Homo-oligomer: A and B are copies of this chain.
């Protein structure tokens, strides 16, 4: 794989400055294997709430920009907290627009990661996000799953940086798995239908 030829767009579900999930995306940027770049997309909060009357007039500029970035990417990495056993409205809203057909998420490989202060590590939220992304459908990486419990022991609370070396190693493996998963969907498959 040539340098920079594989592009992952990184979305964080949390907006606060020292967000651990924004930290996860930055960690992915640093830890990406050779030939792979991870580009944080930090403008989800500029997307207005979905409104079909507005969509009928044409996607607003921030929606166009978001869809364009997803379309150009080889894969998407979503780092999101669990809010109320589901995922935050800012992420849900971006997907409300982004999953409308023709969706740039259609057949797009997606990896999901998340962390929580407690033990459960976003188990329920990730299940809801998988259900949401089935809609276009995106191709969500089935394994490894990356649920990071006890965030306060692994991230710098002041900056949101992922400092735990074992978790950084997990992120390396996760990104490799996402790249391999993506390659499966780039290969030409002889349509069985037409091979008869």
Contacts and interface: CB of A to CB of B under 8 A. Distances in A.
A61 interface: no
Interface stretch (A23-31, A132-140, A161-169): A132-140
Given A89-B94, A128-B128, A15 B184 contact: no
30 contacts: A15-B51, A16-B52, A36-B192, A45-B51, A49-B89, A49-B90, A50-B88, A84-B95, A84-B96, A84-B133, A85-B127, A85-B131, A86-B92, A86-B128, A88-B92, A88-B96, A89-B89, A89-B90, A89-B95, A92-B93, A119-B120, A120-B120, A128-B131, A130-B134, A134-B142, A139-B142, A176-B191, A180-B191, A184-B184, A184-B187
Contact of A124 (B87, B131, B133, B143): B131
- Residues of A in contact with B, size category: 35 or more
A93 B44 CA distance: 13
Interface of A: 1, 14-17, 33-34, 36, 44-45, 49-53, 83-96, 99, 119-121, 123-124, 127-128, 130-135, 137, 139, 142-143, 147, 149, 173, 176, 179-180, 183-185, 187, 189-193, 195-196
Contacts of A143: 137
* Copies of this protein chain in the complex: 4
Contacts of A16: 51-53
